[in-house]
């Protein structure tokens, strides 16, 4: 936490820096230096624009790398570290010093790219060398699976690495740390179980926590839902987990989401050190099934380079072979054009070509992988997708995931040229060959 300290606001205890040099170590309010400029929401903001404060932070970071052997840092409320006077300076002393330091420049640097001050939402605006928690990804995935209209094209941008945010600055898909839930806000279970926050236990008048959660309770608020609602919630969890883990970029999963952990609708549980926020290990059958599902999708991601590209998709024929690295498919099976995008419903088809990755491994060998079809349907009704024919020579499509099925991981060949993607589901198919040995 390099953005604030435990000394709080002007009423907080004097523990260290305030007693040493208050005006040097903290941002204070102009013409009222008794008060702190609080960009962190914790009472004060450390002033890394001061040379001695910056030196303290750099020395601390080097210690963690050299003596404690950490390989990177995630900076909470990172814009606060770049505030010089009161505005955010994207070329501020902190960023410049980190990137020029012979030790820290080798670290993995991850920013939470927003703070509470004016102009503090900086998703996509950090310097090269930094990865970012992609809050736009979070909001887009939530809105799509909530069923908001007109979100298919936004989904396409986010699951392919958010090139609109990172490509122009020379960064790559792994600059996007993709997430749908984090330690702040709803858990995944609560995201599909509550339309409103329920923070009464915090005893602050239900005032803390975000009000705009882009959540959907699947038709019933809270835990006492009928069986059909509970079944839909489990499907929605699988949909979101599949989308997250198979997106380009770096997936980030909140501990407990893989097991359906709930905070009973509390989206600001920082002050609850009790059973409300603890991780419970006595899983129900449904929770165990979700853990197994998450493990399987993680393995799929880890074993297929087409989901872990280091470069953005080009969407054009590769190596003169006439094959594209990615195709966006309408239910008709045709490649989507502008008219199709403009009139698209809450669905999306995507074909990823493992023969067109156009990257090399550490030994300089060309990376080849399996090809996949992914179909997303956030609407309530099924959508029949005409599938592109597999390659000639004994190739066929194998169903790998269908989140709508009772056994979503039940694999098998799919010879029918049409796949009915049920409402609110994800389908993943892999191109296999007849002589393929598992």
Catalytic residue selected from 21, 59, 67, 76 = 76
Q: Which of the 8 DSSP states describes residue 389? A: P
Stated length of the chain: 438
Q: What is the C-alpha to C-alpha distance for residues 122 and 235, in angstroms, rounded to an integer?
A: 33
d(CA 401, CA 382): 16
Query: How far is CA 14 from its chain centroid?
Result: 38
Q: Are 77 and 3 in contact (CB under 8 A)?
A: yes
Mind giving me the DSSP string for 323-346?
EESEEEE-TTSSBP-HHHHHT--S
Could you give the strand order of the β-sheet that contains 425-433, starting from the edge strand earlier in sequence? 326-329, 347-352, 372-377, 425-433, 395-402, 412-413
- Whether residue 76 lies in the annotated active site: yes
Collect contacts of 140-146 with beta carbons under 8 A, ≥24 apart: 141/180, 141/240, 141/243, 141/244, 142/180, 142/191, 142/213, 142/214, 142/215, 143/214, 144/346, 144/376, 144/378, 145/216, 145/236, 145/239, 145/240, 145/243, 145/378, 145/424, 146/214, 146/215, 146/216, 146/378
The C-alpha atoms of residue 364 and residue 378 are separated, in whole angstroms, by 41
Round to whole Å and give the CA distance between 348 and 266. 32
Which residue among 31, 71, 96, 112 is the active-site one? 112
Task: Please name which of 246, 176, 251 lies closest in space to residue 400, comparing C-alpha atoms.
Answer: 246
Asked whether the beta carbons of 136 and 176 are under 8 A apart, the reply is no
CB atoms within 10 A of CB 292: 13
- Cβ–Cβ contacts within 10 Å for residue 74, how many? 14
| Catalytic residue annotation | 76, 112
């Amino acid at each position: 936490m390099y953005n604030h300290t435990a000394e709080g606001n002007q009423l907080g205890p004097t523990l260290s820096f305030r007693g040493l040099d208050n005006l040097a170590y903290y941002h204070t309010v102009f013409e009222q230096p008794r008060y702190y400029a609080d960009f962190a929401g914790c009472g004060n903001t450390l002033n890394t624009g001061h040379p001695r404060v910056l030196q303290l932070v750099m020395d601390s970071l080097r210690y963690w790398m050299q003596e404690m052997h950490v390989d990177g840092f995630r900076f909470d409320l990172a814009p606060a570290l770049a505030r010089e006077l009161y505005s955010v300076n994207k070329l501020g002393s902190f960023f410049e010093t980190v990137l020029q330091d012979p030790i820290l420049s080798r670290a993995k640097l991850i920013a939470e790219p927003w703070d509470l001050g004016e102009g503090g939402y900086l998703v996509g605006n950090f310097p090269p060398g930094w990865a970012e928690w992609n809050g736009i990804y979070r909001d887009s995935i939530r809105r799509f699976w909530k069923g908001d209209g007109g979100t298919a094209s936004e989904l396409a941008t986010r699951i392919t690495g958010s090139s609109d945010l990172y490509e122009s600055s020379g960064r790559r898909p792994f600059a996007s740390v993709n997430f749908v839930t984090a330690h702040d806000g709803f858990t995944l279970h609560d995201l599909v179980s509550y339309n409103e926050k329920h923070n009464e236990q915090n005893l602050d008048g239900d005032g803390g926590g975000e009000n705009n959660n882009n959540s959907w309770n699947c038709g019933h608020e809270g835990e006492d839902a009928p069986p059909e609602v509970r079944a839909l919630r489990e499907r929605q969890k699988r949909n979101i987990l599949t989308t997250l883990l198979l997106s380009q970029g770096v997936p980030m999963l909140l501990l407990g989401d893989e097991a359906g952990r709930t905070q009973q609708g509390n989206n600001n549980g920082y002050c609850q050190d009790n059973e409300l926020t603890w991780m419970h290990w006595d899983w129900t059958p449904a929770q165990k099934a979700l853990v197994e599902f998450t493990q399987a999708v993680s393995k799929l991601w880890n074993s297929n380079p087409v989901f872990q590209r280091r470069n953005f998709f080009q969407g054009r024929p590769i190596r003169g072979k006439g094959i594209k690295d990615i195709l966006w498919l309408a239910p008709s099976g045709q490649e989507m054009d502008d008219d199709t995008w403009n009139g698209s419903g809450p669905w999306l088809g995507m074909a990823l070509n493992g023969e067109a990755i156009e990257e090399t491994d550490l030994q300089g060998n060309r990376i080849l992988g399996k090809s996949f079809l992914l179909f997303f349907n956030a609407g309530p009704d099924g959508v029949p997708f005409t599938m592109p024919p597999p390659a000639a020579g004994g190739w066929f499509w194998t169903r790998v995931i269908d989140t709508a099925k009772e056994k979503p991981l039940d694999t098998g060949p799919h010879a029918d040229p049409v796949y009915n993607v049920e409402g609110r589901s994800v389908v993943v198919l892999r191109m296999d060959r007849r002589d393929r040995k598992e």
